Structure 1
Amino acid sequence: MAYDYAMLHRGRLAGAFPSSASASTSDGSGATSINKQPAIQRSNIEVKFHNHYRQKVYTSGSSVTGEVTITTKREVPFDSVQIVLVGNTKTRVDGINSPREVTHTFLKMTMPIPRSAYPVPRTLESGRTYTFPFHFVIPTYLTIGSCNHHIVDDQLPDHHVCLPPTMGKWEKDDMAPKMAQIEYSVKARIYRQPDLSQHKIKVMEASESFLVLPASAEHPPLNITKKDKLYKMRHSKTLRKGLLLGKLGRITAEAAQPQAAVLLPDGTSISKTETTIDLMFEPVALDVLPPKITAVSAKLIARTFYAGGSIAQLPNLGDWANQVGAEKRGDYQTSVTLPSLVAKKDTGRLARWSQHLSSAVRRDSGYSSGAEEEGRRGSNGSEQPSSPIYHTATLDVPIDMAPLLAKRTPIPTFHSCIASRVYTLQLTVSLNSGATTHAIHFSLPLQIVVAQDPSLALSDDGLPSFETAIQEAETEVDQFFRPRLMQVPEQSYIGNSSLPGYGDLVEMR
């Protein structure tokens, strides 16, 4: 989109002061004719990408190339042309008095333009087209100075210097609200500075946006505690024969954090992931059988956090609603149902139970462990009635993420200074004990990362990797401190400090 600020200014002046060319005249027939002022032909500035289409996705290492074309219908004096690649995050928080809108520029790359590319004199002539090429490369990380606000969590700077993806600009639903958007664009501006002591005047401007899915790495598993309200890794409950009937026993289940789902750099495919659920059932009597595991349903929840100011800690840990400055923050969530895991008809179960002797029976043999004792306690810490045996089972749950791409674009997990995106995998394990059904619920953290594009890897003549640079530096240090003993000195020079003279060297030859 192009803007001609000089023409807009001239249009305001023309509207304020009528011109004689627009005066009306009348002939003898009473007809009135109006001499209309011819429309002013506006100048045009345009940003054009090379090998580009509307839904093309750029990633880390991708080249963004193109040219800025300028065509004027009049002579326009100027001083400089600026071409920049900009990354902006925009958030809006509805406060008590008025909405708070914030724009954070986390990336700004300027294309240097040599003096030889400018016309002499620096005046855009009417009817002539000027072209300024540009070439940018999408970085993997931001500079350290891009995040310099106060933080509480020591892990946060490592997240804030990672490039965030485009959000809110995709053709498919990326599950983001209108209150939080991230945009990448190339902007071209023409400036004029009449006097060195005055500010630059923007004469013309054009902007063109594009989509970015930066490469990202999988982060270590989260250290989840009871204070983290968003996640639930462990579930323990008492099973009953019916609503008002006796107890069957107590079941305890604990799930592991699933592996990250890997998204291709172009966003057209996403890998499967899986998690493991360990179950333990303590019956109240020997004749009570463990329940059958009949199904596991999955749901993916995308949660977007945004704020009217800088975020000082990871928003998915702790309690986001009760953090300091919660009145200037918001979050938005949406869910997608994933394929369920259902037991086969011939077996009617998803996993087999294994029977073990309880710690009370094995106490004398020394096989009891404190972890087992803790697992056999109820949620209130009191001992539950149990038999001499207990049952365990391990359930492997594969998660198919491919149906997510049919109508949506799952952007990767990220944390930036004023916006974040995290995913939660909600699992429901269905149990059947006779005529009674039970359910165990989990809420697990799930990362979505973007793979590195192998076609954009550095060539042999490119920059070395960090490991290669360290190895080369260590080799240089070893060579520097290596003794320079070329040969053993002659016997006549051993034990004295006299050096051979020029004559001695001649005789040696």
Structure 2
Amino acid sequence: MPSKILNYIPSRAKSSCNVEIDIQGHYESRIYTTGSTVQGIVKITSQRKTAIQSIQVDFRGTASTRQAFQYGTPFTTHTFMHIPIPISEDLLSAGHVLQAGESHSIPFIFEIPSNLSSNACNHQNTAARERHLLPPPSLGSWMKSDLTDGSTYVDYAIRARLVLGNEGCAEEKFVDQNISIKVIPMFPEQPPINISSFNSQYYLSQTKTIRRNLVGAKEGILRVSTTQPRPMTLNLDHLQASDSQLAIDIEYIPLSTRRTPPEIRIKSAVIETVTSFSLGRVGYLPDHDDTLSSTISGVAPWVASHPLLLQGVRQVNWEKFTDISPLAEPERRASEPIQVVPDSARTQTPPSTTRISIDKDYSQSEALIYKATMSQSFMLPTEKLLFLPTFHSCMVSRTYRIRITLATRAHGTTISLVVPFQITSEGRNNAYDPILPVYYDSDSVSRESPPPYSR
């Protein structure tokens, strides 16, 4: 499996030189989060006399990507976190020579940081840099599918390296040992995305004309809109997400004597998982901005779609109101232009060549509008899938959006909305009393959460 490339680097030296890493309380499925400590011992042994130059122990975070669907091509790797520990000369053998049968144990303790070093991202876009300085979650190595395509990995590992002298083991220069750990940092809730009129990724409102049949007369105007639902929170103990709710506002303006609003049902509701990755560093947030195409920007979005688990499908209960204002102009994403007649024109006899389908008695005093709100609760299909928190880094981003389609009648008009969706992680409270110093990056930034995204 490709993940093994990241999780383990086999020793290139002969068996006479050996490096072992033992992490206290570690097991393969254990999840570390912000504030968790990684504590253990590196043990170095040699079966014969060996000259060494240095011993290195560090905690690394790397993001690796390659061209989509180009399996077998090399990965491009960005080290976004590097926390070394100083090795005292007292731990090294006299003359930097390991005698046969001699062993050394080097203790270490690291803490999962809440923020990365300020050197981890040098983008000028303030909003992007704020997000990029939050550690990303592990990606591509989970037992459940984390909805990647094998072209993207985020790995955290404890690495121990023994750099050999000129008379080291055979002709080898160093001995490496890595142990990867799974990390899901804390990701607090962020403000809703400010969707500009130029962002074509989302459709928070739609307007369509309802007809009796494909080429029949117009019966009314249907407007559907929604807002971004509350985020879901990922539980780190069971990797389950909380539920959420989508509120859909519906308006129907009849244009004929048949003023009964149509029957509306949810035809489909899916969550789209978008993993955006690049071979280089990207200085914008893919879900916030309507960017250039992937062939120009170099960002390859991998989209996976899965049905939402709807909880108690709601019925639409219409309320009738008197409309005393002129019909609003159709919204930007209306499926077709709608001819709107101002109030002053409604009191006049309409020309015989316009609005023939509208009843002549349809005056301002009789104009009606039907309104309803559909509140639909939903959950994510987490039995076999892992929905990681929403995050952004220099090379990889994970975002979500909900696509919900409403239909009128059995085979009538359909209307779709696409809404950004956020998944957060609360982390855990980690109480510990370390007996060793905890090592951080010497240039780490403030541990406070970044300010909200603003354009």
Q: Which residue does 1:93 correspond to in 2?
A: 67
- 1:57, 1:316 → 2: CA distance? 27
Q: Tell me the TM-score normalised to structure 1 length.
A: 0.72
Aligned residue in 1 for 2:346: none
Matched, 1:352 2:317: yes
Number of the residue aligned with 2:437: none
The one of 363, 384, 392 equivalent to 1:407 is 384
More helix per residue: 1 or 2?
1
Gaps of 5+ in 1: 8-40, 196-200, 344-348, 361-367, 460-464, 468-509
Deviation at 1:130, TM superposition (A): 2.2
Alignment partner of 1:81 is 2:64:
no
Per the alignment, in what secondary structure is the counterpart of residue 316 of structure 1?
A: coil
- Given the alignment, which residue of 280, 296, 300 partners 1:330? 300
- Counterpart in the other structure of 1:35: none
> 1:459-503: CA deviations, max 9, x gaps?
9xxxxx999xxxxxxxxxxxxxxxxxxxxxxxxxxxxxxxxxxxx
| 3-state secondary structure, aligned to 1:185 | strand
For 1:45-444, what aligned pairs fall within 5 Å after superposition? 45-93=19-67, 101-149=75-123, 151=124, 153-192=125-164, 202-266=173-237, 268-295=239-266, 297-322=268-293, 325-326=296-297, 328-340=298-310, 343=313, 350-360=315-325, 373-374=328-329, 379-380=336-337, 382-383=339-340, 387=362, 388-401=367-380, 404-432=381-409, 436-444=411-419
Alignment check: 8 A CA contact 1:232 1:444 kept: yes
The Cα of 1:223 is off from its aligned counterpart by: 1.3
**For residues 69 and 107 of structure 2, what CA distance do their matches in structure 1 show?**
44
Taking the aligned partners of 1:458 and 1:251, their CA distance within structure 2 comes to 62
Give the conservation status (yes or no) of the 8 Å contact 2:19–2:162. no
Aligned pair count? 402
TM-score (norm: length of structure 2):
0.80
Helix, strand or coil at the partner of 2:308: strand
**Alpha-carbon distance in 1 for matches of 2:179, 2:146:** 20
Inter-CA distance 4–324: structure 2 relative to 1 (3 Å threshold): closer
Q: How far apart, in 2, do the equivalents of 1:283 and 1:413 lie?
A: 41
Change in 2 beyond 3 A, CA 1:102/1:247? same
Percent of aligned pairs with the same amino acid: 27
Whole-Å separation in 1 of the counterparts to 2:275 and 2:107 = 37
Deviation of residue 275 (structure 1)? 2.0
Say which one has the larger Rg.
1
SS at match of 1:145: helix
Structure 1 residues 324, 397: CA separation in 2 closer, same or farther (over 3 Å shift)? same
CA distance in 2, matches of 1:71, 1:142: 34
**RMSD between aligned alpha carbons?**
3.0
Whole-angstrom CA distance in 1 between matches of 2:428 and 2:267: 34
Relative to structure 1, the CA distance from residue 331 to residue 210 in structure 2 (aligned partners, 3 Å threshold; closer, same or farther) is same
Q: Secondary structure of the residue that 1:373 maps to in structure 2?
A: coil
The question of whether the paired residues in 1 share the 8 Å contact of 2:226 and 2:247 is answered with yes
1:202 deviation in Å? 4.1
The Cα offsets for residues 229-282 of structure 1, whole Å up to 9 and x where unpaired, read as 221111111112222322221100111011111002345221111121111100
Structure 2 CA distance for aligned equivalents of residues 100 and 57 of structure 1? 28
Query: Displacement of 1:394 after TM fit?
Result: 1.1
Partner of 1:34: none
User: 1:102: Cα distance to partner?
Assistant: 1.8
- Give me the whole-angstrom Cα distance separating, in 2, the residues matched to 1:438 and 1:341: 24
Question: Does the CA contact (< 8 Å) of 1:305 and 1:419 recur in 2?
Answer: yes
Asked if the contact 1:213/1:266 (under 8 Å) is kept, the reply is no
Query: Partners of 2:9 and 2:127 in 1: how far apart?
Result: 42
SS of the counterpart of 1:249?
Answer: strand
